[in-house]
Structure 1
Amino acid sequence: MSYVSPVQFVGKMIDSGESKAHMSTRDTLIRAYMAGAILAISAAFAVTVTVQTGSPLLGAVLFPVGFCLLYLLGFDLLTGVFTLVPLALLDKRRGVTVRTVLRNWGWVFLGNLAGALTVALMMAIVFTYGFSIDPNEVGQRLGEIGHSRTVGYAEHGAAGMLTLFIRGVLCNWMVSTGVVAAMMSTSVSGKVIGMWMPVMLFFYMGFEHSVVNMFLFPSGLMLGGDFSIADYLVWNEIPTVLGNLVGGVAFVGLTLFATHARTGASRFTLPPVAQPDTLEPKKVTA
């Protein structure tokens, strides 16, 4: 009963994209800041679970709690607006231009970054008792993640960069599917189940999420990770953002828009049936 058909939820996607494109700078920043912060706490939680239990699968199963919460609260991630806002432009909604799309993406990026950095600093303080001792086991793991997913890619050169980009594409293919899945149901339980599955998949598979990485890598640097800010930007964040953009727009937004909002003509069309009141009366002969 709570299921929403594809034609209906694609309409909701376009409406949502239009709303976000016209949102005030103040509201865009607040919502993006809170989304980045909540997702960062969720990432810290998942890494803690993985380290303490030795089970990456359990960490992945529990990670989506933050993702579900932030979308139920109406906050915005860069990966989500990559998918939704361009649809309002394609649908030629009034006042939505390339400039408004780029404006929204820019403010959401900054808001997500500020939120993730805030939590990165807080967690670094927690893991080191205010930088008075060496990082605990979880803090050390964060530093290792930063090293392996920056310098680790750089060691493979162009092949590493391609792998990083493709992981970014695959990530937002799944994450944006989660964003859309929240629109497939009118119940909270339906929304959570829909979001949970693809987000769990991306996290366990090690795909690259630009906003999660805004927390993982800065916190890794604060906790003594063996990589630099330049390594983080060149060998992770920038290619990941581009991959997330392609994954969200090409594999989620455009495909759904093309087949459900701009449905192609049927290959088989029945001939028109004449209506009774349009038929000519038969001549009656005596």
Structure 2
Amino acid sequence: MNNFFSPVEICDNMVKGCNNKAKLPIGKMIVLGIFAGVFIGFGAYGFTIILAGAGTGFEATIAKLIGAGVFPVGLMLVVICGAELFTGNNLMTLSVFKKEITLGAMLRNWGVVWAANLVGSVLLAFLLSQSGLYGEAMSAKAIGIAEAKVAIPFMPVIIRAIFCNMLVCLAVWMQSGAKDIIGKIFAIWFPIMLFVLSGFEHSVANMFFIPMGIFCGADVTWAQAFLNNIIPVTFGNIIGGAIIIPVSYHFTYAKKAQ
């Protein structure tokens, strides 16, 4: 007996899960969305700790690898403990393609969850900035990350966001194929580690990284945070996670499962 589902079964599992997300009451979406923002922020915080303690050259590369290995805890918490993450919920287009939920129900979920993710991420960033945990090295790293993110030109940031959410949604897809918690952890770990190591852009992670830098004194305005990064990254994430992955798998697996 296999301890994992076939691709067709995974597709069916994903559709059922997306249908349930569309039916969530607004109150639960908000609470679970705030939790997801906090969970992803925890991963981003751990990533910053590792990088802040590193030097340059090969040491910095190793630190980035270790930090990328810590970051996936955020999505593990979202998937295993239960939370609503905008980027993962981009897969809800699968249910729209199968006409099991309406476009309006999907957009309702996306809007509420995106806003709740933002609240959770910014709240965590603010509280950590007041915790005394951000010393000189941590603050300098947080500032550097925020300033670098808002400086990325428009087209590169879109491309990085597309690739990011392809990997995030593939991680969500793979974990749905696992029948045990260890399988889910490994299915999440490697794609997320790869996107962080690659320097791709994740809208919800950046809802933590950039405000954290602002709270630490980065030369970044809130308008720059949204217009230069968070909003274009959100659109890039939608292309990767709501169009490329679901369209491909709906064509190859969902139609066969009907």
Aligned to 1:58: 66
Matches within 5 A, 1:1-286: 1-53=2-54, 54=60, 55-83=63-91, 85-93=92-100, 96-127=101-132, 135-150=135-150, 152-153=151-152, 160-263=153-256
- Counterpart of 1:51, as a letter, is A
Q: Which has the higher contact order (CA 8 A, sep 6+)?
A: 2
**Secondary structure of the corresponding residue to residue 104 of structure 2:** helix
Contiguous gaps of at least 5 residues in structure 2: 55-59
In the alignment of these two chains, the number of paired residues is: 249
- Counterpart of 1:108, as a letter, is V
TM-score (norm 2): 0.93
Q: Distance in 1 between matches of 2:167 and 2:41?
A: 18
Q: Distance in 2 between matches of 1:113 and 1:233?
A: 11
Q: Distance in 2 between matches of 1:218 and 1:102?
A: 25
Indicate the RMSD between aligned Cα atoms, in angstroms: 1.5
Comparing 250-259 and 105-114, the one that deviates more = 250-259
What displacement does 1:67 show? Answer: 1.5
Contiguous gaps of at least 5 residues in structure 1: 130-134, 154-159, 265-286
Q: Distance in 2 between matches of 1:177 and 1:76?
A: 16
- CA shift digits 1:47-95 (9 cap, x unpaired): 1012224411110012112211221012121001111x221111111xx
Aligned to 1:275: none
What displacement does 1:244 show? Answer: 0.2
Q: Distance in 2 between matches of 1:164 and 1:222?
A: 23
- CA shift digits 1:231-275 (9 cap, x unpaired): 1111101100000000002221111111011149xxxxxxxxxxx
Q: Distance in 1 between matches of 2:83 and 2:20?
A: 13
Q: Distance in 1 between matches of 2:235 and 2:51?
A: 28
Do 2:7 and 2:177's aligned partners in 1 also have CA atoms closer than 8 Å?
yes
TM-score (norm 1): 0.84
What displacement does 1:127 show? Answer: 4.1
- CA shift digits 1:113-143 (9 cap, x unpaired): 11101110111112478xxxxx521122111
**Secondary structure of the corresponding residue to residue 41 of structure 1:** helix
What displacement does 1:35 show? Answer: 0.8
**Secondary structure of the corresponding residue to residue 202 of structure 1:** helix
Do 2:124 and 2:208's aligned partners in 1 also have CA atoms closer than 8 Å?
yes
Do 2:68 and 2:194's aligned partners in 1 also have CA atoms closer than 8 Å?
yes
- CA shift digits 1:3-48 (9 cap, x unpaired): 1101101001111111111111011111111011011011011110
Q: Distance in 2 between matches of 1:177 and 1:71?
A: 13
Do 2:144 and 2:213's aligned partners in 1 also have CA atoms closer than 8 Å?
yes
Which one has the largest radius of gyration? 1
Do 1:127 and 1:136's aligned partners in 2 also have CA atoms closer than 8 Å?
no
Do 1:128 and 1:136's aligned partners in 2 also have CA atoms closer than 8 Å?
no
Runs of 4+ residues deviating >6 angstroms: none
Do 1:127 and 1:138's aligned partners in 2 also have CA atoms closer than 8 Å?
no
Q: Distance in 2 between matches of 1:44 and 1:80?
A: 20
Of all paired residues, the percent bearing the same amino acid is 29
Q: Distance in 2 between matches of 1:137 and 1:122?
A: 18
- Counterpart of 1:118, as a letter, is L
Higher helix share: 2
